[in-house]
Amino acid sequence: MDKINFDFKNRTAVVTGGAQGFGLDIAKRFLESGGKVIIWDIDPKMIEKAIQELNNPNLSSGVVDVSNYREVEENVNDITKKSNIDILINNAGITGPTAPLWEYDIDMWKKVVDINLMGTFNCCRAIVPNMIQNNYGRIVNVASVAGKDGNANASAYSVGKAGAIGLTKSLGKELADKNIAVNAVTPAGAKTRILDQMSKEHVQRMLSKVPRGRFLEVEEFTSLICWLSSEENTFSTAAVFDISGGRSTY
């Protein structure tokens, strides 16, 4: 499948969880489309590997724990001294363990929600003022079908992603009178390392729910992100875009 060309010249994007999986492919596509990209990740070794793999002068990085607001704010302040932040992709996330709610480890519950929901809030809170000042912005929050349907034995993840969907709808409406679009995407299972965090039984159960009969390809996901992040998206905001292979089409 030939890639559609997008124009991200003179645009700067922050991609959280950008050193691997969805985030790495998004960063790659933005760079190929002429943009400047700053990847944030909590794993310095993965960042180093990503920088070597992408090998692009328009790529920079930061070791950032998105669940820590002060870290996020400090990095945003450093970036905005030099340039605007035009695009924010809130991609950082973890699935956490699979267990019934009444047996779920309390500390892990908090960690999963802190990264998936509070991380999204923290990045939006710190970056949106720069977008308002510049009267331009595109924000895409990576949620999940789990946030719409709820996955058994993955209550913390489902809650975090449901919260990200609610945040998207609220923030999108708050910014609707400006040239800033805020949208969410809800992928089903995809061929990324996140599947390695799940039991084989859980992965198989996820796959059985997808009418297409396969997992999402990373490149398919990136194409949707690119359109939502582009200047071509002039009207859609506060919306949830399904990319689940027919599993959750609402």
DSSP element (H, E) containing 209: none
Per the residue annotation, which of 69, 104, 136, 157 is the catalytic one? Answer: 157
The DSSP 8-state label assigned to residue 63 in this structure reads E
Catalytic (active site) residue 157:
yes
What CA–CA distances, in Å, run from 174 to 76, 119, 126, 183?
21, 19, 15, 12
C-beta of residue 59 within 8 angstroms of C-beta of residue 52 = no
C-beta of residue 138 within 8 angstroms of C-beta of residue 121 = no
Instruction: State the number of CA atoms in the 13 A half-sphere of 230 facing the CB.
Output: 18
Distance CA 178, CA 185 (A): 21
Q: Which of 74, 79, 20 has its CA nearest to residue 47?
A: 20
Q: In what order do the strands lie in the sheet with 36-41?
A: 59-63, 36-41, 12-16, 87-90, 137-142, 180-187, 239-243
- Which residues are catalytic, by number? 157
